[in-house]
Amino acid sequence: MDLVPAPTGKSSSLKSPVVEVEAVDMAPADTKETITTMENTAAVGNEAMQSEYETDSDDSGSDLEAELEVLHDEELRCGIPDACSLDEAIAFRNRLHEVGKAVFVQETIGADTITAKKLCTAFGILPPDFLDGAPDSAYHPLLAIAISREFSRRPKLPQYNSIEDAVKLLKESKKIIVITGAGISTSLGIPDFRSKDTGLYSKLEHLGLSDPQEVFDISVFREDPSIFFSIAKDILPTEKKYSPTHGFIRLLQDKGKLLTNYTQNIDNIEANAGVLPENIVQCHGSFATASCVKCEHKVMGDEIFGDIRKGLIPECSSCRKKLEDDSLKPQGMKRKRSTSATQKRRKADGEDSSDDDEDYELPTPGVMKPDITFFGEDLPDEFGRRLIHQDRDQVDLVIVIGTSLKVAPVAEVPGVLPRNVPQIYISRTPVSHTSFDIDLLGDCDVVVSELCRRAGWDFQHEMIPAGEKVEVSNVEGYESRHMFKVVGA
Ligand code: OAD
């Protein structure tokens, strides 16, 4: 089967390379910068981040940054020799945001009140072993990265902490951006990607990929589409159902509060819940349509679902018809077949026969690829256009639900919105690379239904038992982090 032609090399905006966000956060500073040039470095970094939505940005950070070991707040809380305590770290971070980078540097290492080595730990960087015994100035480049990263990070708004604050925000806000990920569909039996043991990526060892994310890599797809189609049936939307969290987004729409749902999900389930297309940006595309990688013929997604469910590679009907028509015309020169990926692999493995005649065959139809955004492909133009030119100036509340925020550029959306706009995070697992004002942890269906209950909203869904009782407890050590648990119905 002929595959998509190699990319033209056209550069475009909003590329979505697979990047762990911890690495992205560290990206802006040049490690060769000294402390005195930190201000400029950070400014450049911020600009790059802002403009990533409109211009090319292939910044993937330096080798040094990639090798840095991240120190999590939980580790600081437990105490690490020669590192700041969590309280000290928080105080340093707050001070940085309060006075800016230049004054902060003067007050700290400039005034010899702390070493650069120790100060790095306040910003989540573990001093690397290879610098052991080096003079403190050797830690300055690391500190530059750490300070730049922290400064470009959105600081938590101190006035929002409790569930009551969350409910009040929900009731009062009128232009809510909801950013969603795979966690909002897991209660329907669709796996997310990164959850340990249950996520899709934990189940792909048998494919022999160096990284399970390659299953969604466009160059891998071009090389061998069968890899993607061998798992596609597992993530294909099934019945026309939707989870309570999808229902919650619909409720926000009904109340006239939904500005935009930026979804990374490709299952198109928002539509089942009645969220209107004009209120959704499907950042990573969806299964709703599919296109031929060769002639770009587009069909409704369900036309290829049958093949996908059978584990077959769907072929383009338009290409097939054209080939049939061509075959009825008088034949000229014999045409050379493009070699299939499997054959190429066999050749690479040395299995190929030396019979040159094998290279001559008829062309075949293109592969139908669901219109989902693979790693290495651009996000839909609508994503950057709407975010930057429409929503950014209107949004009054951000709710992020069921995503690990590990994939750029969606992961960077919270950081490009105005800093005074409150942000709430709802998921089973907290994230540490982005600061939210309130973290509501637990099953998102439970969290959203409890929020609605407390808001006095009539929210019903067959998966939410009538009279459900939810216990909410504060996570020790975090004023704004709350755990939701069903305790009865
Ligand atoms: P992930 O699997 O990375 O994250 C899902 C998050 O949802 C995790 O933090 C889970 O703990 C949480 N979660 C799972 N079930 C939940 C539930 N019932 N209630 C609350 N939280 C729950 O998925 P995404 O962040 O969506 O991209 O992944 C982003 C992108 O990475 C995907 O769009 C996909 C993937 O590679 C492409 O394929 C291009």
Domains along the sequence of the chain with CATH: 62-152 (no CATH), 163-188+242-284+379-486 (3.40.50.1220)
Report whether 154 contacts 400 (CB < 8 A).
no
Annotation-wise, does 452 bind a ligand? no
Quickly state the pLDDT bin for 434 (edges 50, 70, 90): confident
Considering only CA atoms, which residue is closest to atom 33 of ligand 1?
Answer: 264
Read off the pLDDT of residues 182-234 as tens digits, 9 standing for 90 and up. 999 999 989 999 999 899 999 888 887 888 889 999 999 999 999 999 999 88
Report whether 264 contacts 407 (CB < 8 A).
yes
Statement: the pTM of the whole predicted model exceeds 0.85: no
Considering only CA atoms, which residue is closest to atom 38 of ligand 1?
Answer: 216
Q: State residue 40's pLDDT score.
A: 29
Read off the pLDDT of residues 340-368 as tens digits, 9 standing for 90 and up. 444 444 343 444 444 444 455 568 899 99
Q: State residue 240's pLDDT score.
A: 84
Rounded Cα gap, residues 402 and 205, in angstroms: 24
Annotation-wise, does 319 bind a ligand? yes
Q: Which of 72, 97, 140, 284 is catalytic?
A: 284
Give distance in angstroms: CA of 103 to centre of ligand 1. Answer: 39
Once rounded to an integer, what is the mean pLDDT over residues 315-336? 75
Active site residue 389: no
Read off the pLDDT of residues 24-71 as tens digits, 9 standing for 90 and up. 333 333 322 222 222 222 232 233 222 322 222 333 344 555 567 788
Q: State residue 75's pLDDT score.
A: 87
Read off the pLDDT of residues 163-177 as tens digits, 9 standing for 90 and up. 999 999 999 999 999
> Which is it for strands 298-300 and 368-372: parallel, antiparallel or unpaired?
unpaired
Q: Measuring from each residue's beta carbon to the nearest atom of ligand 1, which residues come in under 6 Å?
A: 181-183, 186-187, 192-195, 199, 213, 216, 264, 284, 373, 375, 402-404, 406-407, 427-429, 443-444
Mutation pick for ligand 1 pocket among 179, 193, 424 (CB with most ligand atoms within 8 Å): 193
Annotation-wise, does 316 bind a ligand? yes
Q: How far is CA 350 from the centre of its chain?
A: 39
Q: State residue 401's pLDDT score.
A: 98
User: Look-up: residue for tokens 């939410």?
Assistant: 464
Report whether 425 contacts 431 (CB < 8 A).
yes
Quickly state the pLDDT bin for 119 (edges 50, 70, 90): very high
